[in-house]
A and B are shown apart, each in its own frame.
Chain A
Amino acid sequence: MRVTAETKAATRKSILEAAQRLFSQQGFEATTTRDIAQAASIGVGTLFNYFPTKDSVALALVGDAWMRASEAFASGSQDSSSLEEELFAHVAALLRKLKPYRKYLPAVLETSLSPAASQEANGQPSLRSSHLEAVGQIAARYGELDSLSAVALQLYWTLLIGLLTFWATDSSPRQEDTLALLDQSLAMFAGWLRANVGQGSNLSSNSKSSSSPS
């Protein structure tokens, strides 16, 4: 039997909906792939055709939300007055969309989003590269940097993943501590960028002085 692209997309959607329901009802850990297949009214084998592991289901959920957040941020009007403020707005938009998945973010963070993970997954541009591209564009709007160096981007990504990890287990009222951490982290990052620009350091990947030390 031929499976059309529409059917595939519909199955994928119903798997993700079932998974999200189960994760929020009974928790990520307690949910098995069998539970998900059953809730989506498909066989476990079919499920594996779409998602090889439970983690990859979670990643797909997070990834979809992440992309929606990026689109929402890109299409919204930005009225920030500083680099740290716009970076803050960028991450805040992400947190709003990721909120339903907050508790099982660590499962995704440990694999696909970890600073140690490979940058490209299955030949697709990863969440990481598209997010960092947006960060580069924001930085270019405020600073003298046309684009950020790999070091700066790695540092930023490490901060972001650290923040998401903190957020996943943040028990403060309405996760207000995450906002404070984000504010302080971005102020630190922006301050560090400026300080280094001021000293003529090579944080810009296309700056003339960016040749590697021999």
Chain B
Amino acid sequence: MPTVAELMSALPESAEEAEVKERSPLPEMLQAWSLRPVPVGWFRRMQVLGTLQAKIGAAYLFHWLRGWFKSADENQRHLAETHWRTAFRVLDSMSYLRGATMKVGQTLASFPDIVPREFVETLEQLHFSAPPMHWSLLKEMVFNDLGDDPEKIFASFDKQAFAAASLGQVHRARLTSGEEVAVKIQYPGIGRTIRVDFRNLLMFLLPARLSRDWENAKEQFDDLRMRLERETDYEREAAMLAKVRPLFHEDDGIVVPRIFSDYCTPRILTMERLEGMHLDAFLETNPSQEVRNEFARKMLRAWYRMMYTGRLIYADMHPGNYLFMEDGRLGVIDFGFMLELDDTLWELMRMIDRPLTTGRRDDRIAAMKEWSWISDAPEDRDRLELSEEYADWCWHSRYDGGEFDFADEADFRRGIDLFVEMVRKRYNRSRPCTPVIARQQFGWRSMLYKLKAKIDVAPIAEEEIKATGWDRSEYAQPRSL
């Protein structure tokens, strides 16, 4: 298992940042924080997870902080460090911290090449492992929320969880009407605790807003908070499932589980149980190129369908959320984090359709200027060029035409390098939805990278985009499909 120091050194670092690190007591503090023994209490059970993801969380936060301190002067840095120390003490006392850092771990797992490969493989396990709640506690949760013991509410109910949600766990069960279901149960009170604690934490961080990068940091912080909040809001997830399911039809070969709302509460989510393998298990069966391609096409189609027909961005594209079913269908099972495209975002999606379709540099530049409010001023030139290059990386698999080799490691690396450079130069400051958009971009690319898919993206996109009803006659050539 890598040490914190190893993890930290695996993260990109500039010379300037290294200098800050030497002067700052923060690294030691963070290291100490991440290595501290787990406190007694229910954390004991969490020890089965090991402390790896907590260390990763620490390393990630540390990296984020380093960037933060870069532009601050000595006094500001001192002030900010004091507040960070307080903030970390608070963070440290949060009982679901392991859940939060696990989320960070999952985010990193979507970036296969930003950290060493073996490390990503370990990280991916996190999608499926979480601290268990014992049967007696589950029973009380079901009793309180659904009105009776699980044995009476369900025809059968497995006492052992078969999968873990980051802040709860999933059990197999059968309804009295015969349906096989998956019941996701959340640790009591965790959703509310997160909301309150994050509010408090933000208060501690407020003095740091003097820093130039406050807005950007706050955005990343809000992103993590929003992610955790949404993942703990099972009612919202149930509503989302009910909204997404009708978007798919039998011949799509894409399945979204049915919700059983009589068995759902804010803390309990009961849905149809799909049988299938997760990505790693699927790849171990040595599937042929064509089988992998077919699943990749379905993944893309599902993503486009949600976006263009459902006006939803599936922001949580990690392997734990997909099932590779024996009959070739793709199951999409987790809807904890969806971004709804409001009118503003919808217009932006429409705006970027032109560069996505034409592949012209001028179109990309115009789109990036509008998306990230970049001016024509000379001081913005570098930012614009880098953004344009990043946009090219994001979109070229669609407009290059023909089969695209998603297994191309050099191309994948290029995307990571561009993104890291943008983060380093603080160029990623943009619209609030940008972290989510960037994550799903790396999410789908990394899924297809692992599948080593070779597919033509454009025909799927062109088919799915019809649902928008946009007038694209000015820039889109009719394609023969």
Contact = CB atoms under 8 A, between A and B. Distances in A.
Partners in one complex: yes
A107 interface: no
A179 B140 contact: yes
Interface stretch (A11-19, A22-30, A187-195): A187-195
Contacts of B159: 79
Given A176-B267, A187-B42, A192-B40, A81 B140 contact: no
Contact of B137 (A174, A175, A179, A188): A179
B452 interface: no
B44 A187 contact: yes
A80 interface: yes
B140 to A, nearest CB: 5
Nearest to B145: A174
Contact of A92 (B136, B187, B267): B136
Give the one of B133, B189, B266 with max A CB within 10 A.
B189
A204 to B, nearest CB: 21
Interface string B110-150: 00000000000000000000000111110111011100000
A21 interface: no
Contacts of A176: 141, 144, 188-189, 267
Contact of A82 (B41, B95, B134, B192): B134
Contacts of B136: 80, 85-86, 88-89, 92
A175 B140 CA distance: 11
A115 to B, nearest CB: 21
B45 interface: yes
B161 to A, nearest CB: 13
A86 B192 CA distance: 27
A5 interface: no
Give the one of B40, B95, B139, B267 with max A CB within 10 A.
B40
A194 B175 CA distance: 39
A84 interface: yes
Interface residues of B, number: 25
Contact of A84 (B95, B134, B139, B140): B134
A179 to B, nearest CB: 4
A180 B189 contact: yes
Contact of A179 (B45, B135, B188): B188
- Size bin of chain A's contact surface: 20 to 34
A172 B267 CA distance: 13
A172 B195 CA distance: 13
B232 to A, nearest CB: 12
Contact of B189 (A85, A88, A172, A188): A172
A80 B134 contact: yes
A191 B40 CA distance: 7
A154 to B, nearest CB: 19
Interface string B169-190: 0000000000000000001111
A84 B137 CA distance: 10
A187 B41 contact: yes
Interface in A167-190: 172-177, 179-180, 183-184, 187-188
A38 B144 CA distance: 35
Interface in B161-215: 187-190, 192
Interface string B263-298: 000110000000000000000000000000000000
A176 B186 CA distance: 11
A96 B149 CA distance: 12
B375 to A, nearest CB: 49
A175 to B, nearest CB: 7
B95 A175 contact: no
B137 A88 contact: yes
A5 B188 CA distance: 47
A92 B145 CA distance: 14
B131 to A, nearest CB: 11
A89 B149 CA distance: 13
Interface string A184-214: 1001100110000000000000000000000
Nearest to B159: A79
A95 B136 CA distance: 13
Contacts of A174: 144-145
A89 B40 CA distance: 20
A187 B188 CA distance: 15
A125 to B, nearest CB: 26
A199 to B, nearest CB: 15
Contacts of B134: 80-82, 84-85, 88
B44 A191 contact: yes
Contact of A79 (B95, B135, B266): B135
A80 B144 CA distance: 19
10 contacts: A85-B134, A89-B136, A172-B189, A173-B192, A174-B144, A177-B188, A184-B41, A188-B41, A191-B44, A192-B40
Interface pairs A-B: 9 shortest CB-CB: A176-B188, A89-B136, A85-B134, A179-B188, A174-B144, A180-B188, A88-B136, A184-B42, A184-B41
Given A88-B134, A92-B139, A187-B45, 17 more contacts: A81-B134, A88-B136, A92-B136, A96-B143, A174-B144, A174-B145, A176-B189, A179-B141, A180-B42, A180-B187, A180-B188, A183-B42, A183-B188, A187-B44, A188-B40, A191-B40, A191-B41
